[in-house]
Amino acid sequence: MEEKVTRPACTEGFSPDAVIRLEEATKIYSLPFGDVLALDKVCLEVMPGEFIAIMGPSGSGKSTLLNLIGSLDVPTSGDIYIDGHNTRTLSDDALTELRRDRIGFIFQQFNLIPLLTVLENVEYPMILKGRESIKGNSRARDLLLKVGLTEKMLAHKPKELSGGQQQRVAIARALINDPAILLCDEPTGNLDQATGTLIMDMLLEVNKRGKTIIMVTHDADIAAYARRTITIVDGKAT
């Protein structure tokens, strides 16, 4: 007997092929001075291969949305489906596996692991997945060379590289487990314009090869790389 599920009205017409689906996703933070509504019944459908920019003023809920899609957090109410998995029903370990296997993160601060070398930073998610092998090793190397690093840089610690180079390493790391989705939080925010353009071209290239990209930015020029822009104001998406 099939269980009858009531879907919110906003999801009418949503495709079953969507890689990301938000159904009235709401996030409320309980703070000492009262509850804060960070995200208010957001409905969103993202098809495979889309490139979406999320824009909005500070404190509008952009980061909350990205955290929810990135499975770093779960909605207070409503549902979020990533690759068919309802994140609200998943255990912490299952959410972690989802991040590891299906999502690549690119941060404004690059967020590389300072104790590991450039090569090890890229290998790390692969090792987590248990694909530690000599073959895997060459995959990380290939990827790093492909994003424009030289062989000599691979043994360096991240701090020894320029911002642009670090962001390239971060892109290689995000791609190593061949995820379906790339989540970028102000990927060019800490880079000069020329480097930022190079990084954006690289992301565009990645998107052309089929990866879904969701990018938070407040820079309209950067948002222009995306094919669709979603604006968040006061927790509501438009």
Partner 1 sequence: MIFFELSKRSIRLNWLRSFLAVAGIVIGVVAISSMGLLGSALTLSVTDSLSKVGDSVIIIPIGGNTAQNAMEMPFISDRQLQQIVRVVAPNEAVPLYVGADKIEIGSKKDMASLYGIRNEQILLMVTIADGIAPRGTSGALIGATLADKYDIKPGSRIKVGDKTIRITGVMEKQGMGFDINPDSALIVSDRWYSTTYGQDNYDQVIVKVRDINDIDTVKKSVERTLNRRDDEVAVIDTRMILDMIVTTFGQISAFTTAIGGISLLVAGVSIFNVQMMSVTERIKEIGIIRSIGTKRFEVMRMFLYEALILGLIGSGVGGLISFVGGFVALSLVLGDASYLFYPQTLFYIPYGMGIGLLVTLVSGLYPAWKAANLNPIEALRFE
By the criterion CB under 8 A, which residues form the site for partner 1? 67, 70, 72-73, 92-93, 96-97, 99-101, 105, 107, 111-116, 120, 123-125, 127-129, 132, 173, 177
CB 199 → partner 1: shortest distance, Å?
18
**29 or 221, CB closer to partner 1?**
29
**Minimum distance from residue 70 beta carbon to partner 1 (Å):** 7
Nearer to partner 1 (CB atom), residue 71 or residue 212: 71
Based on CB atoms, which residue is closest to partner 1, 8 or 163?
163
Burial track 198-215 (b if 16+ CB lie within 10 A, e otherwise): bbbebbeebbeeebbbbb
Query: Nearer Cβ to partner 1, position 45 or 167?
Result: 167
Q: Give the H or E element holding residue 164.
A: helix 163-175
What b-and-e string marks burial along 66-76, b requiring 16 or more CB atoms within 10 Å of the CB?
Answer: bbbbbbbbbbb
How far, rounded to the nearest angstrom, does the alpha carbon of residue 5 sit from its chain's CA centroid? 29
The smaller minimum CB distance to partner 1, of residues 14 and 100, is found at 100
Q: Tell me how far apart the alpha carbons of residues 211 and 20 are, in angstroms, rounded to a whole number.
A: 12
* Virtual torsion, Cα 65, 113, 164, 220, nearest 10 deg: 10
Minimum distance from CB of 130 to partner 1 (Å)? Answer: 11
Least separation, in Å, of the C-beta of 200 and partner 1?
A: 22
Kindly state the smallest distance separating residue 227's Cβ from partner 1, in Å. Answer: 26
